[in-house]
Amino acid sequence: MHVVMLAYPCMTQLDLTGPFEVFARFEELSLHLAWKSSDPVVDGSGLGLIPTTTFADCPQADILFGPGGPGQINLMADREVLTFLQAQAENATYVTSVCTGSLVLAAAGLLTGHRATCHWLSLNQLAYFEAEPVAERVVVDRNRVTGAGVTSGIDFALTLAAALFGEDRARRVQLSMEYDPEPPFPGGSPSSSDPAVIATVREGSAAFQQQREEVAQTAAALRAQFSQCSVSSTAK
């Protein structure tokens, strides 16, 4: 089975590398990091990753995956990226994401009418694209599987692996990775965090979140306009 994982500039590498680590432990899965070119891409913190395939040479995905990160806002109206995702999704068995990667899928029209999740700071933006935002760590809706923020990528991948290969094998991989999180502090989600901490995080990311919000609204409007034009063209 081919797992096609979008790799783009300014993504959050753990969105991608967490699931990659899980999927790489199943010999049935062949992993592909896809981008426009084979040039290295640098994530939002400066880590370089090398795509293994270009859009033009990419095999058909059985599992299509999109990570999130700051660079997501540049993809929301990137016709080349959105067209690639749409074409791959058409025959993919699963269409998936982690963090704000779900917003890129949504901008491509791939989450319309589906329940989905996202990083908590951007969860509401899914509704702009007629998806149903769900504040859960992993959300499965038919063949759409989405993970919440960053670290949920491991949970997402283990959930999908269990669906593909059975819970017993997924449990063995979880153990082999020693994935048994005991964070040093309580409060890794809004539901368990001190309101003052939440307010500080919101304040620190307010400017960027405003930009992300505006881009999402614009992309949603363009998506709606494109859909109306397509309907009108078909009607003629």
Count structural domains, the chain.
1
Catalytic residue among 58, 99, 118, 229: 99
If you average pLDDT over residues 64-83, what whole number do you get?
97
Is residue 23 scored above 70 in pLDDT?
yes
Here the CATH number for the domain that contains residue 125 is 3.40.50.880
Percent residues over pLDDT 70 in the chain: 95
Tens digit of each residue's pLDDT (9 = 90 or more) over 149-167: 999 999 999 999 999 999 9
CA torsion angle 175 21 94 216 (round to 10): 120
Question: How far, in Å, CA of 16 to CA of 171, rounded?
Answer: 20
The region of weakest confidence among 15-29, 54-68, 213-227 is: 213-227
* pLDDT at 231 (0 to 100): 47
In angstroms, the CA 119 to CA 103 distance is 10
Instruction: Give the domain extent around 78.
Output: 2-235
The rounded distance, in Å, linking the Cα atoms of 167 and 147 is 18
Cα–Cα dist 214/185, whole Å: 33
Give catalytic status of residue 99 as yes or no: yes
CA distance 135 to 127: 13
The predicted-structure confidence for 169-202, as pLDDT tens digits, reads as follows 999 999 999 999 999 999 999 999 999 999 999 9
Average pLDDT of the segment spanning 106-121: 98
Spatial CA neighbour of 215 closest among 47, 17, 25, 78:
78
